[in-house]
Structures are given as structure tokens and as C-alpha cells.
Structure 1
Amino acid sequence: MRTLPVSFLLLLSVWSVCVWADSGRIRQKRAWIMDSFSIEEEHPGPFPYSIGKVVIESSYLVNYLLHGQGVDEDPKNILSIDQSGVIYVHGKVDYECSRNILLLKFEAITASNAVDARFGLEIKILDINDHAPKFQKSVYEVTVDESHDQDKSVLTVLASDEDDSSTNNGTFVFTIKSVTPKTDNVEFYIQQLKESGTIHFKGCLDYEKAQKYTILVEAKDKGEKIQLSSTSTLIINISDNNNNLPEFSGKTGPGKVKEREAGVEVLRLQVTDKDVRGSKAWKAKYTIHEDKNEVFKIETDPVTNEGILTVVKQMDYNEQTHQNLSISIHNEIPYFSCKITKKVPSAMWELDKILQNFDTDTSALYNTFPVTIYVEDVNDPPVFIPPVKHVVVMENIDVGTSLTTFTAKDMDLSHANTFTFVKGEDTDGWITIDEKTGQVSTIKILDRESPFVINGTYTATLYAVEEGVPPLTGTGTLVIHLNDQNDNVPILERNVASICIDKQPTMVNITAVDLDFPPFGSPFYYELLGDIKDKWRVEPAYGTTVSLVKENDVFSGHHLLQIKISDQQGFYSIQNLSVAVCKCSITPNCHLKMDSEVRKGSVCAWMLGLAILILTATCFSLQISCKAEKKKYCMGTSDISSQKNTENPRTDCMKQLALQTHDMELGINEPHCYTDEGQPTVSDELDAISIPEDA
């Protein structure tokens, strides 16, 4: 017999008091005999089976009833009671799916169906060890660097047991069952905290000894009758670190370079490294020492890991015949080293560890490789001394003027050769050079206004050609700085204009240009020539752009004016200006209307043809006369003055014929000036130039 629970005895006492109060009379104390009821989960049967009997002393009780969990509440239909008070179990009960105590109400019924007694009843479900511990994952995998410190967490596993955690059935421990492969450099262990286990190790990980460890971990409960367990597989991948130093193993290549060569590979250095090929721990980085002038560079071949030594600056045999270098090597990531000095039982092992820091001097860890690069002597080209010469001259200097003398030197003493000077680039053909002496002279008038002159300078190149085999060439540069002369006169930018007679103001702007630079150019002085009183005037008379003003006495029609334009030094030209005056309300462009009328009619065509014949004959006679006389004269004007112009000399009289023809087409009678050598001094813009004789 087992003792009744305290709660049950207390419940019986309360029930006795209640029965006494309900009956209204004194009853005889009843004796209750009851076992401690319990059900073992997953009982195999056979069913039904009895778990105990409720006994009540009464001669008139005829029936017992049960209500609650296990009867008419979940889990239903598991329990029942017969007329004698025996409690039966009709099926299996799961501790994990049910409450560990079933609460029921017990009733004793009389023949008249009256409830004679009512009290509570508890049935405890006993847990059995029917669940093994279960890992959260069947396989765990992690990657750690081989520089990972011992006693530092590697991996944590989790497990749980559905059995009662307050009993041995639901309590478990972790155990490392196996480690593959077994190496002497590391020892794994597990630390447990409740339902988690953390993997640690002692020693040094070494990628070269094991790239992966497979650990089998068991979780086993402490069941009293039986112990249940399960396992999980832990995969620990080891990543390679730089725990092997690179070592020089050899060199290939000529180890020499010809002087003046650059971008040439001269040597390849081979290294060996036990770290994983292609990894940062394997890739080599080279450093050149004793190269103050940075003549060399070294790069890493990404495939072979060789160091490729290249010459990047030209070397001169006369300055040095060889260059001594030393080359060091390290990897792309810091070096790491771990060695076991003592295996201490039940404690961390004693280690000797090195972890390189690029910020500190760790050159003692690495080897250096001595290299000597030899310079080969080759034939040197001549060298101009100096390579660039600047000369300052006045434009329009005489042809044949000596500008400067270039000198060159053969720097190669062992291959001394003779050389000659040759003109190189001379875009406008200004100079010549004496092939023996290097003297540079002019062969053309130097014109500062030439299109080949940029910012007042003209550049030519010269060569010194050596007669060796193969022939070599040195290059010199001549920069000619030209001072300006007043060798151009101002001319009108446009020599046609239109003025409206019926609009105010009755004026038009005129502008002159001069190719010379200050003080030989603008501003200019303007003066109208001929019978212009009370007809035309210029306002102001001084400037670059001025206004031509028409007086009221000028009527519609075509007017030809002559304007004298002088620069600041008194050099001048007399320009013809064709002015058309008309009513703009009828014809917007007066000059086009006038020009169109001139070209109409057969008479104008006949006169034009006759003028061409006369001009042809005149030009022919003038050409003969120019050769005999050394004086200037102007055709088409009686105002002949002594003039000169060295700008754009020509000898073709047909140009003058074309100009006169153009004037006839426009109705312009304009003078054109010639020198005493028969060369026209006018521009292509219908301008007659007059320059003082004393200029």
C-alpha cells in the first residue's frame, strides 16, 4: 500500500465536513482506503488494465462516476471506473503530448440517483525515456583560418530532448566520438553549457597537414533504464594562411641591357612557396633596393609567380657599365607562423607564434637576392650642344644673314665618327645650314606676318647625321624670335558702303586694318581726298573704326571716294571707297542696285571689252619699262609718290590686269602702285598703297 497524497487527504477532510453539514445529522466517520494512482506512459497493455480501486464504506451506494481529463475531456476515453470502484486504463498515454497529471472528479451515486459523495482525483503520468536527444542540424560546417588561436571558439552545436528535463531521461551530455584525420598538431574538445556545445582546439592549425577536419559529436541522455543518443557531423574547413615564406630558387634572362634601351626585360627571378598556388599567401611581391634613380621596375608574373625585372629608363655606358641591385620578396598577406613547444595535459599547449605586421620592420624574416645588370656599349648619335637655340632678329633682314652656328658632339668615345649637318623641318623655307660648320643663314626674307609664325616665333629643326654603321642622327632645334617692322600699311576692311538718303543719321562706319603690331598699327588717321567740301566728312578723323558722314548736298547715285589712311608712324595708303546712296524704302541694298544697273546694257559690255584690251597693252609696255627704269609710278592716277612695300612681292602683271578688270565691272577707277622693278605693291583687295619715300 502507498500513502495517499497530502492534497487528496485534505480534499477528503473537506468533503467529510461538507457531508456532515449537508446531512443535518451526526454520521458515523467513514474509512477511506485509496492507492496512489499513476500511469506509465506508453504502457504496452493489454488493455484495459487496472491501476487501483476507490473504496467507500456504504451499504446503500450503488454506482461510481468519473469526469474530467482522460474520461470526457482530452485525452478522452482513456480511463473508466466500474461498480466496485476499480479504475481501468484503455489506451496508451504520451507524457510529452499530455499533462503529467490528469485531474478528475469522483462521484458516489445512491439508488435514488442522488450524489452521496463528490471529491477530486489526481492520476500522475510517469515519464519514460522514449526520446533521444536531437541535434538542431545533422551536419554543421564552418571555415576557419589556420591562424585561428587555440582555445578560441570554432563552432557551437545545439541539441534538445523531449523527455522530462527534470529527470535523467531529458538530460544529456556532448561527447566527441571521432576526429578525421588525426594529426599531431591539434586536439579538439567540446565545452557544454546546458543544451549547447562549443568546439575548441589546442595547438596549431596547419593547412599543409589537413585542409579539413570531420568531427562526429554525440549527445547521449542519462536514462536510468536505457540511454538514448544521436550524433551530428561537424565539418571544419581550414583556409590557408601565409605560414610559408617564399624562397628564391633561381633566375633566367640575359642580365644585361644596351645603353639607351628602355622597356626591356632583363631578368626573371624564380621563387618557391609551399602555400596554396594562386592564393594571396602564395603570390609574391618583389621590392628593388639600391636603385636611387628608379631605373628598374619589377612585376610579378600572375601565372608563374616569377619576378620580371625591366629597365624603364635609359642607361649610358659612359656613365656606368653595370648596376648592382638587391631584391627582396614577401607575399600579399602578412606572414604567420605557429609552432608547438610543449603539449600540456588538461591545459592549453605552449606555442611559439609569429604574426607579421607590414607596418613594422620584419625584413629579417625574408631573404634578399643580389642582382647585377650590365650595360652594353653601343654607337651613340651626335648630340647638339645646346639642343635648342633661340635667336632674336628683326623681320625683313637681308637674305644670307647669318643667324647662329650649331655645334654637335659625338658622346661615344669608343665609336667616334664624323658627321654632317642637314636641315630638317623648315616649313616656309627660311634657312640653310652649312653641312660642315653648322652655320645657319637665311635664304628668304623673314616675315613676322607669315602664317608659319606663331606668337612671333618661327621654329626649324636641324640634324647632325653620323657616318657610322648604322648612321645615327642627332636633332637640334632653332627658334627664331622676330621683331616687328612697320612693313604694312593700313587698308580698308571693306571698300564698298551704302547710305540711305531718306533716313537719319546719314552715315556709315568704315574700318581699317594693319597686319603690323603696335606701335606700327592702329589707331589710324583718316583723310578724305578730292572735291568733298560740303559733301562728305569723316568723324572722328582718328581711330580704328570711324564714321563717313554724308552732307545734304549729296544726292542718290554711285560715288567714288578716295581716303588716305595713315598708321601711327606715318605710313599710309590711299583707298578707293565705293559709296551707293539711294532711297532704302525702294531698294534695301543701294550698292547691289547700283551695281546691277552698271552691268546692264550692251554699251557697258562693249566698254568692258575695250578696257580689257587697253589694259593688256598697257601692262605689257609697263613690264618692259619697269626693267629699264628704277622708279615708282602709279597707273590710273596723276598723284605719283615714291612708295615701297616688301610685303607679298609679285612679278605677274596679269594680276594687275585682273584688278583693273574687276574695277571696271564695279565702275571703280582706282590707282594701283608699282615699284621700280615692276612688282605690284597692292593687296588682292583692290587697295592702292602709297608709302613715303623716306620710310
Structure 2
Amino acid sequence: MLLLTLLIVFVTSSTCSEIQSRQKRAWIIDSYEIEEGHPGPFPYKLGQVGIDRKYQVFFDLYGQGIDEEPKGVFTINKNTGEIFVQRPVDYEEQKVLKLSFEAKKTHDLSIDTRLGVEILIRDINDNPPLFEKPLYEVTVDEDLSQGSHIHTVVAYDRDQKGTPNSTFHYAIKSVSPQSPNIEFFIKNTGALSFKGCLDHEVASKHTLLIEAIDHGEVVQLSSSTTVIINVEDGNNHLPVITGQTGSGKVKENESGVSPLRLHVTDHDVFQSKAWRVEYTILGNEKGYFNIETDRKTNDGILTVVKSLDFEEEATKELKISVKNEAPYFSCEVKSRPTMGLWNVDVTKKQSSGGNIHYNATTVIIEVVDVNEPPEFTVTVKEASLPENTQIGTWVEKVTAVDQDTSAARDFIYKVGDDPEGWMEIDADTGDITTIKMLDRESPHVVNGFYTLILHAMDKGQPPMTGTATLQIHLIDINDNVPKLDVNYVDVCLSDSHTPTEISATDPDGDPFGGPFQFELLGDIKGKWKLDPSYGFTAGLVRDSSVYAGLYTLKVKVSDQQGEYGIYSLNTTVCSCSVVRNCRSRNIGTFTGEGAIGIILASLVLLLLVLLAAVSFSCKEEFDNWETIPDNFLVGQINHSNVEKPGTDCKVPNIFTAPDGQKPNYLSKTQDQDDRRSHIIWKGIDEALINNHTEVFWREYWSMYENRDLKYHKRHQVLDKSLRSLIQLKLCSLQETVDDLPDYEPYIYAEEGDLDIVSDLDRICFSDGPISNLCENLGPEFEPLASICMLPQLQNQEHKL
């Protein structure tokens, strides 16, 4: 108080307001204490703040309880400094209230003194302990052992910690229903447990009322919660097999069928682990049977999973036992001591043994005899035989047996699958013999083996069939000669001796097949040779003296054993500056309408070449040989409105001399050697190579003026000359393909439209000078050539 007095004196002696404000101090005076929840009456005096002053002051309070929450708790007498309590307070909301006290001078309201005031709130026992939940519910197994933890309840008290008001304990106030075999207890921690034995049949649910009671000195407060303990049924009743349904019969060789169904009863709760059962089969060492539980009815479904054999065993005796999924459990109270747990007798077993006897029954399964197929003693058999073996040769013998005891055991042998029809089998003995010549090169012989499927069919109802396989290894013999893969090749005109490949194949295997020896026959010295000449492919080499044209070479091909074949190889020699193939143009690079136009233009030009070669005209004849223009063979297109051209063509006599007179050299009695024809042909050949059309026709005509040349020689030169001219024009057409005009094709039919048939006729050439012409021009040429009625050309030639 002395310090406070000195402070007040120091503050009031100052005359400067700034100095006064800088020297203000806030002091906390002695604390006041009030009790929460004071019953009143209100207001009541809490205390008085006094200041020793010779001049008059008045007082003010600010802070918690005044103008701050909780508001309206305190008031102060401004003249006397007395503090009053206006209403009760709550300790749990505010444990201490802090205020500011001010003393002000009355004449200028300046602050004379500022003090801090603390008012403590004293707790009373006004809060009971409260549980976290008003209701707890748990489920436990019936076989839960006594003393086991069931659940823990938790409560809290808001009163001042560490005081009797906030200290409490738990107590079980009631248990429903009551049972002499169980007693529940709760620990100070709220952990709930029991003594004795749970019994689902006595009580499937226990309801406990638990209280939390505090230790208040004036009054004790409490609250309660409810705990519901559901007891899940344990397996304290064993299942019992009560009967079976089903025939108990199963056909031999049949699996996946159920001959019977077992039924059980169990007094435990339906669909619980204690009610659901499991079956066990005894006497099923070979695994013929399996049993499963029907989850809806608890029935045991016996199924045959491995086929039975009547001849092996006509009946099967099985022992089937049953137990629950949950372990068997029983509990019995023997005594109830006052301290500790009770004395109980517990039985808890899962497997059979001890004093638990699981229910079992014996079932008899009858195996019904059925007609079984005969069985071959060896299902896959092998034999060896040379190809081309004589008919009637014995191949192999197969044997089958039938275990049936009835008349159905009689059976016969039959051939099931023989793709080539080479074999037959004796129906009684199973002996297999050949009825045709064997051929190792047959498409049904795979890797040298021919597969034969055999059957043994009994006479039962219905008849049954056993199957076996005979694999015959056919030993190869040299019964085939090598053959050329193709009978035509193209050879290019070039200075280098580039070989053209020719190949051969032989269906015989080693050592009767390739590699082969190739050989050229005939007069080929200085003209043709083979390099290499041994292997699966040979190289055909042309000498530079061989000119463009068509040649037929004789090729001999020999296998490793010397067996050979002689073949004609058609060889075309031509310029390959544009494309490799001498006989047909490669139009793969043209697409769409341009490609179609090029194809039709090429065919038209080919037709014009033929027209020039045989010198005929449609609708208009050339009376004078000299009037034929030099560019006639290049190709022109004449307009025609005839839908089916060619039917009105007139073929002139092409053997009319330029002066209109027939030559007098066509006597068939004339005789001449091959040398004259060779000389004439050489002149024609040189003219063709140099592209001298006029020279060609002159040399061509001089051939007929040579009276010493035989008719058949003239015939050959005509044929050779005409074909060479056409080949030359084809090659020139290939070289100038970029300059060809485009033509709009006439559509005779759309692709895939089978209902529209072309009106073009088909032509079939007979032997003559141009008999081989269409072979190299392809199938497309034949309808076009029919327009010109080329057979008339040959007839006219023979007439002359």
C-alpha cells in the first residue's frame, strides 16, 4: 500500500499532462474470487477499491464481465468504488476474469490512477461425467473365453481437473436378461468383460446399463450409457445326416453326374458358420468321387469325377462324414468363487478325435454296365513300305479287344480314313494289305508318312467304335525324272554374256532328286551354252551371233542317278532396253483410265501390225502394193460404227505381185536346200534389226520369186518373218510408250458383272504360219484377232 500511495502522490504532483501520461502505470491489485453458479440474491457486493486522496475522484471498470464477454456480470459505484456481482458465472466457460480499474479527477476527467483487477471463478460440481456415446453395440462369438475383453466405454467430466468434482468411476447398474451362467464386470478404465459361459440359446443378446459417477464433496453427479452385446451362435450342436435321395447308380465310363444327395440337420443358427457343414469321403483313394455342399440347403451333392469301369468293380462302397465349418464348442460352469474368474469346463475341437464323434453314413454306388467300344492294343502303330509296292502286299496287322461281357463284344475291323484309297483291312483278322500302287509324291504323304485311320466297330446297341492310327513310312524310289519349272525364257540382246536362269525340280527325295545336270542338245555350238550347268538352276548364255527372234532349244535334265528328261525350251531373244519381259508389256505403272487406254491402244496397234503383215483391208482393198504407206505398221485407227466388227471383212490375195500378176514361183515341185532360205532370212533379219520397213518387204517378196526354194521352206520363212516383224513392233511400242495417245475404252462389262457377256467372238487357230502367234500375245488377243477372221488368211495361202 505504501508503494501504491507513493505512486499516486507522484502522479498527482505533476502539472504537465504529457509528463503525466508518460508516467502512468497499471498495477494489479489483490485478486477477488467468486463461486460459479452462485444462487444469489443479486446483486451482491464483491469488494471495494479505495484510494487515499484529498480531492474527489470517481471510478470506472472496463474489461471481461463489463464491456467484454461475459458482459453484465459486474458493476461499480463510481463515487465509492464498490464492485457488485449482477449474475452467476460458469467456470467451464471462463476460469478468470481480467478487468481495468480507473480513477479520474472530477474537475477535468483526467486519469488519476489505473489499476488491473483479476477476479477468479471457483469451480463447483455442476457437471456430471458424460459418455462418448449414449449407446454401444458389439458382437462376440459364443465360444469367447471368460475374462476376454468385450468392449471399452469412455466418459469425460468438465469440472476442474484434479478435483473430486472431475473424478469418477464406472458401475454396471443392470443386465438383461439375467443368467446364472454369466456375470459381467467393468474395470476402472471402462473395459468390459465377463465371467462364466456365453450361451446363444439362453440369450442371444445382453443389454447392460453402465453409469459413470463422480466424487463431488457436496453432491455426486452421474450419467449412464447402454451397451448391447450380441452373442453370435457357436457350434455347440453337431450336424446329423438324416437321409439321402437319388438312384445311387452311375453308368460306367460316365463322369460329371450326381448319383445321390445327402441331407443333414443342425440346430445352430441358420446360415451361420456353426450351421454350414463340410463333407468328407472315406474309401475314395482313386479319386472317383467328389462331394460338395449346397450352400442353400446344406445338402451334400456326390459327383462322379472319374469314370468307373463295370468290369473292374460293379459297386462302390463309400463312407461319408460331416462336420461344421466352425469348430465345435461347449462351455459348462462348475463353480462361482467370489474372487477371480469362475471354474468352467470348456470343449473346443476342430478335427475328429478326442471325445467328439462326427456323424457319418455309408452309401453304396452301383456301376451300370454299358456297351463300351473295342480298344486297340496299340493306338498308334508304324509300318514301312517302298512306294510303288505291288498290289496285294501285306502292310501290318492291328489288334483290338472288347471287355464287354454281353454279345456286344463281337466286332469287325474297318478302314476309317484312307485319303488315297490305297489300303484294305480284313474285317476279322485286322490284316492290312494294299489295293493300289503307293506313291510317295502324293499330297497326302507328309514328311514321308501316309496316315491311315482304322476302326474296330462292335455289334452293340448302339454300336461303339474304337480308333487306331497306322502311320506308313513310304520309302522313296527314283520313279520321277526332273522337269523344267518353265518351258520359256527371255534373253536380252546385249554385248555381255549375261546368263538367263533356267531351273528344274524333281519330286523324288535325296539321293534321287537334285542337284541336276543340265545339257543342251542339237546344233547349238557357237550359239548357246550353259554356265553353270550343274545344280538346281543353270545359266543359259547366248552368243553374240544369235539375233533377235524365237528359238526352240532342247534341254536334257538328269538327276543324281542319271534319270533324265528332255524338254523343249522356247527362247525369245529381244531388246530389253525398256522392260525385261520380251512377250508382254509391264503396265503395272499405269493406273486408272490412262492404264486402260494404254492397254487398248497396244491391242489396236498389235491388230494393225497383223493387218499390215497380211495386207488386207476392211471395206476397202489395196489394188496396188506400192500404195501401202511406210508408216502403215506404226498403227492407225479407222472409225467403225459396227458393234460387232470383223464379220464383213474381205481378205485379198496377199500373194499378188506389185504389178497385179501372180508370181510364177509357187510351184510345189520346186526344190532347194536350207542354205537359200537361211540367206533370205538373214536379209530379212538385218532389215528388221535396222528398222528398214521397205527393205523388209522387198526381201520378204524376193523369197517368193526364188523358184528354187521349196514351198515348205517359203512357208517357214513367211512364218518366221511375220513373227519377227510383230516382235520388233512390240519392242518399239515399249520404247515409245510415253508418246502413245490416250483412248477412251468402250465398256463391255463392269468388273464383277457376270450378267453382261461380250459380243466378241473367240478364235481357235489351226496349224499354219501364224499358229503360234497368240501363244505369246496372251488370252486378250484372241477376241480381237477374231475381228479379222484370220483363218481366211491361211486358207488363201493354201489356195495359192
- Please classify the TM superposition score into its range, dividing by the shorter chain length: 0.7 to 0.9
Distance 1:40 1:499, change over 3 A: same
Q: Which residue number corresponds to residue 164 of structure 1?
A: 160
After superposition, the Cα gap between the structure-2 partners of 1:582 and 1:152, relative to the gap in structure 1 and judged at 3 Å, is same
> Gaps spanning 5+ residues in structure 2: where?
13-29, 587-601, 615-763, 777-800
Give how far 1:491 is off.
0.8
Counterpart residue type for residue 559 of structure 2: D
Instruction: Using the TM superposition, give the Cα deviation of residue 492 of structure 1 relative to its aligned residue in structure 2, in angstroms.
Output: 1.3
Going from structure 1 to structure 2, the CA distance change for 1:115 and 1:520 (only over 3 Å counts) comes to closer
Find the partner of 1:493 among 485, 488, 494: 485
1:432 to 416, 424, 427: 424
Matched, 1:187 2:180: no
Match of 1:515 in 2: 507
CA deviations over 1:302-358 (Å, ceiling 9, x no partner): 322222222222222222222233334445565555554444434223444566678
CA RMSD of aligned residues (A): 4.5
Alpha-carbon distance in structure 2 between the residues aligned to 1:312 and 1:116: 109
Q: Which amino acid aligns with 2:447?
A: N
Query: Could you tell me how far 1:511 is from its partner in structure 2?
Result: 1.4
Write the distance in 2 (CA, Å) between the matches of 1:438 and 1:37. Answer: 127
Name the structure 2 match of 1:94: 90
Give the aligned partner of residue 133 of structure 1. 129
For residues 36 and 374 of structure 2, the distance between their equivalents in structure 1, rounded to whole angstroms, comes to: 111
The answer for the alignment partner of 1:320 in structure 2 is 313
Compared with structure 1, are the counterparts of its residues 113 and 573 closer, same or farther at alpha carbon in structure 2 (3 Å cutoff)? closer
Q: How many Å apart are 1:405 and its aligned residue?
A: 3.4
Matches within 5 A, 1:235-254: 235-239=228-232, 244-254=237-247
Q: Compute the displacement of 1:565 (Å).
A: 0.9
Question: How far is the alpha carbon of 1:556 from its aligned partner?
Answer: 1.3
Q: Aligned ranges for residues 603-682 of structure 1 at < 5 Å? A: 665=772
**Which one of 512, 526, 539 corresponds to residue 531 of structure 2?**
539
For 1:600 and 1:371, locate their aligned partners in 2 and report how far apart those are by CA, in whole Å: 100
Letter in structure 2 aligned against 1:42: G
How far the C-alpha of 1:49 sits from its partner, in A, is 2.5
In the TM superposition, what is the alpha-carbon distance from 1:558 to its structure 2 partner?
1.4
Deviates more, 1:445-454 or 1:515-524: 445-454
Paired letter, 2:428 = K
1:298 counterpart residue number: 291
1:401 matched to 2:396: no
- Which residue of structure 1 lines up, in the alignment, with residue 554 of structure 2? 562
Query: Residue 437 of structure 2: SS of its match in structure 1?
Result: coil
Once the two structures are TM-superposed, the CA of residue 264 in structure 1 deviates from its matched residue by 2.0
1:208–1:391 distance in 2 versus 1, CA, 3 Å: farther
Deviations 1:581-610 (A, max 9, x none): 111115541133799989984999xxxxxx
Residue 255 of structure 1 aligns to which amino acid in structure 2? Answer: G
Offset of residue 74 of structure 1? 5.6
Say if 2:31 and 2:117, in contact at 8 Å, map to a contact too.
Answer: no
CA contact (8 A) 2:61 2:76 kept: no
| Alignment partners' CA distance in 1, 2:414 and 2:5 | 142
Structure 2 residue 224 is the aligned partner of structure 1 residue 231 = yes
More helix by share: 2
1:395 to partner: Cα distance: 1.3
Contact 1:259–1:376 (Cα < 8 Å) also in 2: yes
Q: Aligned pair count?
A: 590
Aligned to 1:454: 446
Kindly indicate whether residue 171 of structure 2 is the aligned counterpart of residue 175 of structure 1: yes
1:97 to partner: Cα distance: 2.2
Contact 2:492 2:575 survives alignment (8 Å): yes
- AA in 2 matched with 1:304: T
> Which of 42, 48, 58 is matched with 1:47 structurally?
42
* Alpha-carbon separation, structure 2, partners of 1:92 and 1:206: 55
Counterpart Cα distance in 1 of 2:355 and 2:105: 101
Q: Give the residue type in structure 2 aligned to 1:214.
A: T
Q: Any conservation in 2 of the 1:153–1:199 contact (CA below 8 Å)?
A: yes
1:153 aligned to 2:149? yes
Residue 281 of structure 1, CA deviation: 4.7
Superposition deviation, residue 402 in structure 1: 2.5
Bigger shift: 529-538 or 90-99? 90-99
Moved more, 253-262 or 14-23: 14-23
The runs of 5 or more residues in structure 1 that have no matched partner are 1-11, 24-34, 605-656, 670-695
Measured after TM superposition, the shift of residue 394 of structure 1 is 1.2
* Whole-Å separation in 2 of the counterparts to 1:13 and 1:204: 78
**Distance change in 2, residues 1:66/1:185 (3 Å):** farther
Check 1:242–1:570 CA distance in 2 against 1; reply closer, same or farther (3 A cut): farther
CA contact (8 A) 2:127 2:159 kept: yes
Deviations 1:29-61 (A, max 9, x none): xxxxxx9975332334343223567899x9979
CA 1:86–1:466: 2 relative to 1, 3 Å: closer
- Which sits farther off after the overlay, 565-574 or 235-244? 235-244
Give yes or no for contact 2:98–2:116 (8 Å, CA) kept in 1. no
Residue 275 and residue 513 in structure 1: after superposition, are their counterparts in 2 closer, same or farther (change >3 A)?
A: farther
Change in 2 beyond 3 A, CA 1:122/1:390: closer
Once residues 476 and 355 of structure 2 are traced to their aligned partners in structure 1, the CA distance between those partners, rounded to angstroms, is 67
Question: Could you say which residue in structure 2 is the equivalent of 1:272?
Answer: 265
**Which of 370, 374, 382 is the aligned partner of 1:382?**
374
**How far is the alpha carbon of 1:561 from its aligned partner?**
1.2
On the 8 A contact 2:481/2:559 being kept in 1, the answer is yes
Structure 1 range deviating more: 490-499 or 275-284: 275-284
**Cα gap change, 1:537/1:336 in structure 2, threshold over 3 Å: closer, same or farther?**
farther
For the 8 Å contact 2:493–2:573, the answer to whether it is kept is yes
Is contact 2:456–2:467 with CA below 8 Å preserved after alignment?
Answer: yes
Q: Which deviates further from its counterpart, 238-247 or 552-561?
A: 238-247
CA contact (8 A) 1:109 1:117 kept: no
By how many angstroms is 1:501 displaced? Answer: 1.2
From the superposition, tell whether residues 61 and 506 of structure 1 become closer, same or farther in structure 2 (CA, over 3 Å): closer
1:199–1:565 Cα change, 3 Å: same
Q: Are 2:462 and 1:466 aligned? A: no
Out of 99-108 and 469-478, give the one that drifted further: 99-108
| Secondary structure of 2:583 counterpart | helix
Cα offset, 1:529, TM superposition: 0.9
Q: State the shift of 1:161 in Å.
A: 2.2
What letter corresponds to residue 200 of structure 1 in structure 2? S
User: For 1:579 and 1:113, how far apart are their aligned partners in 2?
Assistant: 140
Tell me the alpha carbon deviations over residues 240-273 of structure 1, each in whole angstroms, 9 at most, x when there is no partner: 5555544333222222322222222122222334
- C-alpha distance in 2 between matches for 1:538 and 1:112: 143
Query: TM-score normalised to the size of structure 2?
Result: 0.63
Q: Which amino acid aligns with 1:270?
A: H
Aligned partners of 1:498 and 1:157: how far apart in 2? Answer: 105
- Note the alpha carbon deviations across 1:67-110, whole angstroms, 9 max, x for none: 56655776555143586776532222222223357777698999
Q: Deviations over 1:112-149 (max 9, x none)?
A: 99999999877553433332322222333344444544
Label 1:84 to 1:542 Cα distance change in 2 as closer, same or farther (>3 A): closer
